[in-house]
Structure 1
Amino acid sequence: MLRTFIRPRLAGALLLATLLGGCATAPAATQRVSFVVVRHAEKADDGSKDPPLSAAGQARATALAASLRDAPLRAAYATGYRRTQATAAPAAQAHALAVTTYDASRPASEFAVQLRHDHRDGTVLVVGHSNTAPAIAAALCACEVAPMGDGEFDRRLTITIDARGAATLRDERY
C-alpha cells in the first residue's frame, strides 16, 4: 500500500517540476529591450575638433534625461567626444550608471551585435553622431533608417526588440 501511495505522489511531483521548469526557461512574452539612439546635443562653436555642449545642448541633454526618467535604463554608451559624453551624462547619472565609451569608427553592424548580445532587457541609451546614429539604429533593427541632417539634434530613434527577436523602429522628436 505504501508503494502505490508514493508512486502517484512522485509522478505528480515530477509532472509539476517539469511544467514549472518549462515555464522558467520560456521567455516571457513581454520581455524586451529598447535601444534609444540619438545624436549628440547642440555643440558650442569654440573652433576645436572636440567642443563641449552649448547652453541649448545642455538643455537638450537634460530633456533627454527627463524623457528617460521612468525607463529601466540599464546602460548608456557614447563616443569619446566631449559632446557625446555630455549628452549621455545626465541620463546615466539619474540612473546611477557610468557612461561606457565606444569607438565612433567601429562598424555599426559590429557594435549592434555587441549591444544585442550584452543587453536583453530594459533600455539602453546610445549617443552618436549625425553620420553614425542612423547606421547604428538600422543595424539594430535590420531596417532602413533615413540619414540625419547636420542641423538635426532632436531626433530620437527607438528600436524595441521583443522576446521573439522582432524589432520595431520609432523615429520621433524630443
Structure 2
Amino acid sequence: MRSLISGMALAAGLALFASAASAQTVYIVRHAEKASDTERDPVLSGAGIARAEALAALFSEGTPDLIVVSPLQRTQLTAAPALEASGAFMVVSPLDDGVEAHVETIRQGVWALSEDTVVLIVGHSNTVPLIARALGYETLDMPECEYDRLIRLERRRGEVSGETRLFGVSTTC
C-alpha cells in the first residue's frame, strides 16, 4: 500500500509539469561512484562527488526542470549539484514494488510532461538501460563498474531519438 501511495505521489508531482506532450529532452545517468560496496545505501566517494559536479556542469546552458531519483541517497547525492544549480523540482520514484514498477512509473510520468520540459533521471546500473528502453531508446546493459554513461533522448511528435555520451572522468571496466 505504501508503494502505491508513493507511486501516486510521484505521478502527482509529475503532473505539475503535464500538458499535451509532443517532445521532451530526457537525460538518464547512473548514480556517481559510491564510497562503499558493502553498505546498502552508501554516500558518494570523492570521485563520485566530482562526477556529480561534472553532471551539474552539463546543464550550464539548459538546466533540468525536473529531476527523478530513486529513494537511495546515492542517486539523490548525484543529483544534488544539478538540483542546487537549477532550482528544479525533484521527485523520488519508489522501488517498493520492484524495478519493473519503478521503470513504468518513470515512463508514464516522463511522457506526460510538456514539450519544453528537460528531465534528468538518476538511476542505477540495472535501471538506467531499462528506463532508456522503456522510453524508446535501445542501449546496452550497464556493467557495475560503469559510471560515465549519459543517455540523451528527445521525443518529438511521438518519435524518439537519442544518443549515448560519456561525461566526467572515464571509467574503465
TM-score by length of structure 1 reads 0.76
Question: Can you list the C-alpha shifts for 1:29-84, whole angstroms capped at 9, x where unaligned?
Answer: xx731110000000001732000000000000000000112114210111011100
Which letter maps to 2:55?
A: L
Which moves more between the two structures, 54-63 or 96-105? Answer: 96-105
Unmatched tracts of structure 2, length 5 or more: 1-19, 168-173
Structure 1 residues 119 and 102 mapped into 2: Cα distance closer, same or farther (>3 Å)?
A: farther
Question: Can you list the C-alpha shifts for 1:115-151, whole angstroms capped at 9, x where unaligned?
Answer: 11134323100000000011101111x2322100100
Residue in 1 aligned with 2:120?
A: 125
**How many residue pairs were aligned?**
143
Residue in 2 aligned with 1:136?
A: 131
Q: CA deviation at 1:107?
A: 4.1
Selected match of 1:159 from 153, 156, 159: 153
Partners in 1 of 2:23 and 2:113 — Cα distance? 13
SS state of the match for residue 139, structure 2? coil
TM-score by length of structure 2 reads 0.77
Residues 1:33 and 2:27 are matched in the alignment: no
1:106-121 map, 5 Å: 106-121=101-116
SS state of the match for residue 118, structure 1? coil
Residue in 2 aligned with 1:84?
A: 75
Which moves more between the two structures, 84-93 or 113-122? Answer: 113-122
- Higher share of residues assigned helix: 1
Residue in 2 aligned with 1:103?
A: 94
SS state of the match for residue 111, structure 1? helix
Which letter maps to 2:90?
A: V
Q: Percent identity?
A: 36
SS state of the match for residue 36, structure 1? strand
- Higher relative CO (CA 8 A, sep ≥ 6), structure 1 or 2? 2
SS state of the match for residue 45, structure 1? coil
Residue in 2 aligned with 1:53?
A: 44
Residue in 1 aligned with 2:163?
A: 170
Partners in 1 of 2:149 and 2:52 — Cα distance? 12
Selected match of 2:141 from 135, 147, 150: 147
Whether the aligned pair in 2 keeps the contact of 1:52 and 1:83 (CA below 8 Å) is yes
SS state of the match for residue 112, structure 2? helix
Question: Can you list the C-alpha shifts for 1:85-117, whole angstroms capped at 9, x where unaligned?
Answer: 000111011011242111233242342122111
Partners in 1 of 2:43 and 2:128 — Cα distance? 19
RMSD, matched Cα = 1.8
